[in-house]
């Protein structure tokens, strides 16, 4: 997993927190765009990890969820490779 994606997502989110939706119209659009970019970067790079309750997917920011059936099948077909880049 790339640490660059996580840092860039954090910077986008930090810049968005400085902007306001109540100011000029372009500032609200810039805030929305930065938040959307942060979310996209978070989901761009993820890894599958074996946890205590089964396999989970962890994104660049450390948030996790359980694997879907399709993802379990993909890991099985890839013979256990746990790096997934959509």
DSSP string of 24-37, one letter each residue: -HHHHHHHHHHHHH
| Overall pTM > 0.85 | no
Q: Any idea which residue has 């790096």 for tokens?
A: 83
pLDDT value at position 63? 79
Residue spans of the domains in the chain: they are 3-84
**pLDDT tens over the chain, length 86 residues:** 456 777 888 888 888 888 888 888 888 899 889 989 888 887 776 777 777 778 888 877 777 888 888 878 887 888 776 665 55
Helix (H, G, I), strand (E, B) or coil at 8: helix
pLDDT value at position 81? 66
């Amino acid at each position: 997993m790339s640490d660059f994606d996580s840092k860039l997502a954090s910077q986008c989110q930090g810049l968005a927190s400085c902007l306001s939706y109540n100011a000029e119209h372009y500032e609200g659009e810039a805030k929305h765009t930065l938040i959307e970019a942060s979310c996209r970067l978070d989901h761009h790079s993820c890894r599958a990890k074996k946890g205590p309750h089964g396999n989970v997917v962890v994104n660049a920011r450390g948030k996790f969820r359980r694997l879907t059936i399709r993802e379990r099948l993909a890991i099985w077909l890839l013979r256990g490779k746990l790096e997934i880049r959509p």
